[in-house]
Amino acid sequence: MVQEIRQNEPQYICMIPVEKMTGNQDEEIITFGASADEAKNQGEELLTSTYGCNQSQVWELMQQARIEAVAQWCAPKR
């Protein structure tokens, strides 16, 4: 799945470490949303649909997730 930053809209990023699933210490899933909740929901959906995680696994991984506003320098030029 490829996502891009929407112009003139607030953006949030959700970073979910997936080390327990892949064994790769540096691997994480990154999703975007217009709100923190949307970014989180995108991450949960991806864990379920693409990685086949059950509800318990999703909950555990989301406890480690970081949700932040995308820095202004990442926004497209106006």
SS3 state at 1: coil
pLDDT value of residue 13: 93
pLDDT value of residue 63: 94
Instruction: Tell me the pLDDT tens digit for each residue of 11-64.
Output: 899 999 988 777 777 889 999 888 999 999 999 999 999 889 999 999 999 999
pLDDT value of residue 47: 93
Q: What is the rounded CA–CA span in Å between residue 2 and residue 63?
A: 24
**pTM of the entire structure?**
0.75
Using the structure block, give the residue that is written with the tokens 């327990």: 20
pLDDT value of residue 57: 93
